[in-house]
Amino acid sequence: MRLYVCALAAAMLFATAAKAETGYDLWLRYTPVEAQYKNRYAVSAIVAGASSPTLDAARDELNRGLAGMLGAAPATAGTVTGDGALVIGTPASSSVVAGLNLPLNALGREGYLIRNVVIGGRKATVIAANSDVGVLYGAFAYLRLIQSRQPIADTLSAPKTKIRILNHWDNLDRSVERGYAGASIFNWHTLPGHISPRYIDYARANASIGINGMVPNNVNANAAILSAEYIEKAKALADALRPYGIRLYLSVRWSAPMEISKLKTADPMDPAVKAWWQAKAAEIYKAIPDFGGFLVKANSEGQPGPQDYGRNHADGANLIADVIKPYGGVVMWRAFVYANDPKLDRATAAYKEFVPLDGSFRDNVVVQVKNGPIDFMPREPFSPLFAAMPKTSLMLELQITKEYLGQQTHLVYLGPLFEETLKADTYARGPGSTIAKITDGSLDGHATSGVAGVANIGNDADWSGSIFNQANWYVFGRMAWDTEISARAVAEEWTRQTFTADPQFVNPVVNMMMASREAVVDYMTPLGLHHIMAYGHHMGPAPWDDTGPREDWRPVYYHRAAKDGVGVDRVASGYAAQYRSPLKERFSKVAATPEEYLLWFHRLPWDYRVKSGRTLWQEMVAHYRRGVDAVAKMQSDWAALKPYVDDERFGQVTSFLAIQHREAVWWRDACLAYFAQFSGQPFPPDYAPKYPLSYYQAMPIYASPPP
């Protein structure tokens, strides 16, 4: 059910300013179009054939959207009797669609076609596909065109990747690891008896951007999720999501056979362990016939796994893959692993563990690789694993929730980060071997492909902790569907649907969004610095922190600042050599390394001259200051847009930008106060941190200094 706040905006200077909104409706607001567009988008009737839960969902969404945007829901008809009909269906469900002989073969199961046609001398538009879910995706695309004020032109679209999935790091008690938008939306206590309307709205939102899978529980899994009690609950959730084309997967704990059934071991080579997984798979698929499969985090950050028994990752993944293959299930095995070895560069760890196993995994195993080798940093080079496992299906893992990028209060649009990753050329099979081509399976001919996103969703009214965080959920889905779409194009789509299609608003907001990721890199981790956030909560700067229980959890491990210089020599560590030529040669030479990765790959003296002619220290100061200035510009740009936005959402963004500016200043001043003690060089005449280093070091968690 769509929810609106019924308070009127204090002023309505422009027609596009609206009633106050909580943000609950996301990009599916369906507000009235301007008068000049009503004839362009007018629909006389929806012509649908046979009924199914998914086709009914498509028809209901079209009715909802057209009623909201055009003022009334169109009639329902069995045939085209006049101009302006909207025909929906598959050749199997609709005789009208079947009679059009449309070019659907290349669209696969999930693709769709939107086309203007003439039927019996009457002008009509058809949304057609090979499957009901394809029709649903087409219906959402059709409504997106109207919301964006785009012409209803011929469109053929099919997803580039097969698995487009949200990983929720939600715990069974409704707490959310790295979640910044309230408690989990999944209330396991009330399942299976109660299906919250929010589950349906969640499914609608995901289907609208092409997401077709979800994992409702944390990768740091509770074994109870595989108990009979929770399988019954999961079934109810899967049933609710199914009409929207969303398959349910579960994250599992490797030691579940021991914790649930008291087996003495979880050794993947033990016959009793295999029998346990076979029985559990049969139990799950009986309850959920279209169950997607399992996500596994094993032998990582203290989680149990096959290595506890002298086995390797392939041994563990293949055990589960074998028992679920008859059902069509997939195992997503995470490659986020690293040993607690101070002599080993953590960035090299996953490569060393997984590359020797290339070719050992079953064909229904996909190894899930984070975009970078460390951990969702504001910027890091792509993981060298992507180029090194041609015989294994690899799945890209991105983080939508901004664990290291200001969490809910910093406006950081992740589209440029996602695009940077997908377009990165790995040279795995020569030039043009992009991560997009690896993860969609086309480069090496893998049938299983996918992109996973760590969800930023919670039970806050606006779902994501802030209005602009919604854009990161949106862009993830759109880029998972189309790995070649540009971040700017998606930002424009989202802005037009979420706020207004008025170019006087859209253009400055999109520019602001597109600049926001580079701003956060500048004021947090410029020039290849990384992981200098405070330990544990990752909120705020702490480059001085050397107190974590593991050396590679301490920020000092990642910059190693001293009088003689700063940065990590990843040529000596062997990390640079993990890339394919010409990248390994480029990254091995200081002068050839892109400056955005300079201190990632190299340890340099403070007086090293960068391309600008400044010393490394001076360039660091310039980047930190530029980041703060960029946030100040975002504040002024947003302030000028008040006439176009309802007071509630305008106020939230305004207050969060103020927090972001204060915290950007905090980042700048705290980091520069720390690094200054080593650089031996002065601050510019017009700048110095407001407080001494000791002040910043003593600040409590989630506090920023006063203005």
What does the alpha-carbon distance between residue 485 and residue 536 come to, in Å, rounded to a whole number?
35
Distance, CA of 470 to chain centre: 10
pLDDT tens digits, 603-660: 999 999 999 999 999 999 999 999 999 999 999 999 999 999 999 999 999 999 999 9
User: How confident is the model over 258-268, as a mean pLDDT?
Assistant: 98
Active site residue 21: no
- pLDDT at 341 (0 to 100): 75
What does the alpha-carbon distance between residue 577 and residue 600 come to, in Å, rounded to a whole number?
14
237 neighbors 248 (Cβ within 8 angstroms): yes
Residue 7 DSSP code: P
Catalytic residue, candidates 403, 493, 596, 619: 403
**Domain 163-498: which CATH number of 3.20.20.80, 3.40.50.280, 3.90.1150.10, 3.40.920.10:** 3.20.20.80
Written as six digits, the tokens of 194 are 């109660």
pLDDT confidence bin for 5, thresholds 50/70/90: very low
**Both ends of the chain: CA-CA distance in Å?**
42
Go through the chain and tell me how many residues it has: 707
pLDDT confidence bin for 701, thresholds 50/70/90: confident
| ∠ CA 589-593-599, rounded to 5° | 100
226 neighbors 324 (Cβ within 8 angstroms): no
What does the alpha-carbon distance between residue 696 and residue 676 come to, in Å, rounded to a whole number?
14
* ω into 582 cis (within 30 of 0): yes
What does the alpha-carbon distance between residue 59 and residue 38 come to, in Å, rounded to a whole number?
20
> In the β-sheet with 85-89, what is the strand arrangement from edge to edge?
75-77, 45-48, 85-89, 122-128, 112-119, 155-157
Catalytic residue, candidates 301, 341, 484, 546: 301
Written as six digits, the tokens of 604 are 């340099």
- pLDDT at 351 (0 to 100): 97
441: left (phi over 0), alpha (psi -120 to 50) or beta: left
Give the fold, CATH level 3, of 35-157.
Chitobiase; domain 2 (3.30.379)
Q: Looking at domain 522-568+603-697, what is its CATH homologous superfamily? A: Alpha-glucuronidase, C-terminal domain (3.90.1330.10)
- Candidates 323, 320, 343, 347; CA nearest to 335 is 347
When the pLDDT of each residue in the chain is averaged and rounded to a whole number, the result is 95
Catalytic residue, candidates 259, 375, 420, 637: 375
pLDDT tens digits, 470-481: 999 999 999 999
- Candidates 543, 525, 527; CA nearest to 535 is 543
- Domain spans of the chain? 35-157, 163-498, 522-568+603-697
Residue 562 DSSP code: B
* 352 contact partners, CB below 8 Å, separation of at least 6: none
Distance, CA of 661 to chain centre: 25
Active site residue 83: no
3-state SS string over 590-640?
Answer: CCCCCHHHHHHHCCECCCCECCCCCEHHHHHHHHHHHHHHHHHHHHHHHHC
Model confidence at 1: pLDDT above 50: no
SS3 406: coil
Domains 163-498 and 522-568+603-697 share a fold: no
pLDDT tens digits, 61-111: 999 999 999 999 999 999 999 999 999 999 999 999 999 999 999 999 999
- pLDDT at 707 (0 to 100): 64
**Angle formed by the axes of helices 470-481 and 197-208, to 10°?**
50
Q: What is the residue whose two structure tokens read 């149990």?
A: 304
What does the alpha-carbon distance between residue 423 and residue 473 come to, in Å, rounded to a whole number?
19
Active site residue 551: no
- pLDDT at 706 (0 to 100): 67
What does the alpha-carbon distance between residue 631 and residue 377 come to, in Å, rounded to a whole number?
19
Which pTM does this prediction carry? 0.96
DSSP letters, 172-231, are TTS-BTT--SSS-S--TTTTTT---HHHHHHHHHHHHTT--EEE-S-SS--GGGGSHHHH
